Chain A
Amino acid sequence: MTTRRRFLQGAGAIVLYFNAPPSVRAQQATETDLPGSLAANPGLGTWLRIDADGTVTLSPGKCELGQGIQTALAQIAAEELDVSFERVTVATVDTAVSPNEAYTNGSRSVEVSGAAVRAAAAEVRAILIDLAADELGVGSTKIGVRNGIFTVAGKPSTLDFGAVVKNLNLARNATGTVSPKPRDRYQIVGHSLQRIDIPRKAYAEAAYIQDIRLDGMLHARVVRTGDCEAKLLPPANFDAVSELPGVVKIVRNGSFLAVITEREEQAVNAAKAMARLCRWQGAELPLQEGRISAWLKKAPADVKVVAERGAIGAGNILRTVSQEYSRPFQAHASMSPSMAIAREAEGQLTVWSHTQGVFMLRGAIARLVGLDEDSVRLINAEAAGCYGHNGADDAAADAALIAMQMPGKPIRLQWSRADEFLGEPYGSAMTTRISAGLDDAGRIVDWQFDVWSGTHSIRPAGAKRAAHLFAARQIAVPLPLAPVGNIPQPRGGGDRNAVPLYAFANQRITKHLIRDMPLRVSAMRALGAYTNVFAIESFMDELARAQGEDPFDFRIRYLHDQRAIGVLGRLREQMAAAGFDSVQAPGGVGIAMAQYKNSGAYCAVAMRVKVDAASGDIKLEHALCAVDIGLVVNPDGAINQVEGGIIQSASWTVREQLRLTASGVRSTDWASYPILTFPEVPKVEVVLIDQPNEPSLGAGEASQGPTAAAIANAVANATGVRVRDLPLTPARVKSA
């Protein structure tokens, strides 16, 4: 097994270098002073390697999920090092070598990993300059860098990075004493460089975990229902299956059941044959489709006031308005059903996974299979976009369990499309209720918000949370389940964005956390923010329209945050330029705005719709969006993320709900869980507000909530019909 030490030794031109060079010979910073993920991973050599040919290898701990993070981080590294972007390659995340950056989630990668890369690269550049100074016999203050070549008093020297790496030792901790480049000198950051992963995908080169083919690899499928607590009833005799072509082994551990075959299609056939022989005992679902909100509000819950201002009821309340808004269970529905490859050899287990967190998953899998964490290595490889906690980790655990039964053989475990729809942890169903107290001038003086939700995080984060893995519930001795929790404020889980950005005199925000949900639920893009922003921004629109007020002006009256006001103003300009009707005029335009997590990106969305009165069908015509994500590393990459967020959220909002029966989930494919298709998606135009002096904020989840409310508000404006339950199906539009 490769250790971090061996990775560093493998870097080649590294010798011991005992004396820190002068420009970094300042006092050691304490670890917590270091920016972003550098605090927990201060070793410079963990992040960067420079080879004798002058190429740079960046090794971050954040996973590429199709969001373009490798490109953005490479831009930051190239900028600080003053090398051309083309010279930087980005290593895949691997527990053997990478910094531990926990999960790639929450739209925080550019923020925390970017800050670490920036500081580490700036410091490495200073070290390189000191080495060049020694080599050239010139003071380091006279030395600069241009395209990886050292300059002396502004003129190119004969030395490049490659020429000094023989003396470079990055096996040392960052000091945090080197200032990064001033932003006004940026030449790479802030530019729409093409993503480094796209050519290999366009040319069908090896790009995905699916493209890894190991010698002697065997294929495996699991046999299960969607209920991880269902028990496999005896007698399950699979002798007939063992006789099928290519069957190598049937793996059974309690109710965990899988088959290993020589070829993939043999695994598919054998798994189908086994499924026909299985009888399962599981509980009926206690809730019914269409009555989820009623169930949520009655379920046992931990109730907690998460934010309070002033005193409820203290204002001069003339009347109170209340409404409820809800969302069903929804699926991540990644294009690639989850898979993993695992190999056990001499007590060491290696797992290739499209997880969002290799270090966290390593601990969980080690616990599941009974190995020390040091004996398990997790290597990340890309799959299709996951949009949160989908089946990736569960499939990796399945592969690990199977591989432990087949020592020496690489096992490729592939979930079917139905396995993914039935086995992935869903986005929790949620219900919210808002009550606003209005004074005699129609102003909101009192605001009560209640949100009922399951958890939004059961990630198998290390050994202690291994029990959340699907297979951990199935094995003969299931791992003890720790109680699920909620991500606390200010980020929040189910209560993410439940606290309004608007300044109301008196407000109380209450969350009702339902720990025991009838379906397995976890993090799905934007978490509770999707529903809470849908609710708040729908309700604000209802209040504005009821009073005959412009929805822009009505919102701005309660906003103090200039950047929030800024995205609304920019959106208003976009609407005028695009020829949208005024949002106040009867038509088909709706707007909404939020700051993701109340601490991230600001995003305002306008949607223009047409509604077919006879069918109730919503035609999404055109979306406009203004976003403020602070300093933008790659504008086109950020726009791509926001465009995609709008279309995915639009699909959730008008189409998506998990279909349920008493026996469980009946959405098993794209026919029973339809998403928006090419003729149905709106045209989307996104503008970024330039904020070069503000910290970078993630773009990936900002548009989910505003898009939902903008659509509902547009439908209300077009038809006079207000739909408060997602999705906005034709039946609901017609009957509301």
Chain B
Amino acid sequence: MTISLNVNDKIVQLEVDPDTPLLYVLRNDLELNGPKFGCGVAQCGACTVLVDGRPQRSCVMPVAAVAGRSIVTLEGLGSREHPHPLQTAFIKEQAMQCGYCSNGMMMTAAALLAKNKRPTEDDIRTALRGNLCRCGAHGRIVRAVSEAARNGHDGDTS
């Protein structure tokens, strides 16, 4: 069936099984690199995207469930030309090793910063508790989110 998606402020029409996980549509049909396949069972957070501003696990989200809703991926958050404060801060703090989890970290943090402009370290750790990092970059990630918060995040992640 035809499904209409709003991804990073662009409307796209897709002919796809409505049960297809959103992650595969984003990665394979729309060729977006941001959301990552990590577990497929909503346990690790690597696939996180924002749906109507809320962090959601795209690996278990049927594409039909998000038709017509606003989907933002890491590409929609910012780019080399127009970086989001989180992207700038992750680079400045070198807040990754392999960086495979970074998508989920930044998307989850973006939702946090939209609600809480000055999160404490504990707020950040709590917000990221469902996002796994295997390299052990946790301390740097927390610093980068704090740094992004200080650098005038505008709170607009829709």
Contact = CB atoms under 8 A, between A and B. Distances in A.
Contacts, number: 169
B136 A384 contact: no
Interface in B128-143: 128-142
Contact of B129 (A205, A268, A669, A679): A679
B7 interface: no
Given A66-B99, A67-B97, A677-B129, A210 B39 contact: no
Interface of B: 17, 19-21, 24, 27-28, 31-34, 36-41, 43-44, 46, 73-75, 78-80, 83, 87, 90-91, 94, 96-103, 106, 122, 124-126, 128-142
15 contacts: A195-B94, A201-B102, A204-B32, A263-B24, A268-B40, A382-B98, A385-B98, A414-B37, A640-B97, A643-B139, A646-B136, A647-B138, A669-B39, A678-B125, A679-B125
A621 B129 CA distance: 16
A676 to B, nearest CB: 8
Given A202-B91, A204-B32, A335-B44, A644 B135 contact: yes
Contacts of B90: 198, 202
Interface of A: 65-68, 194-195, 197-199, 201-208, 210-211, 213, 245, 263-265, 268, 333-337, 382-385, 387, 414, 416-417, 636-637, 640-641, 643-648, 651, 669-671, 675, 677-679, 681, 683-684
B100 A648 contact: no
B17 A644 contact: no
Nearest to A650: B136
Nearest to B131: A678
A384 B129 CA distance: 19
A207 B36 contact: no
B65 to A, nearest CB: 15
Contact of A385 (B19, B97, B126): B97
Given A198-B91, A265-B21, A670-B43, A677 B100 contact: no
Contacts of B91: 194, 198-199, 202
A199 B134 contact: no
* Closest 3 A/B residue pairs (Cβ): A66-B98, A647-B136, A644-B136
Given A198-B99, A263-B24, A265-B24, A204 B134 contact: no
B96 A198 contact: yes
Contacts of B32: 204
A644 B97 contact: yes
A636 B94 CA distance: 8
A698 B104 CA distance: 29
B94 A201 contact: no
Contacts of A382: 98
B97 to A, nearest CB: 4
Contacts of B126: 678-679
B99 A197 contact: yes
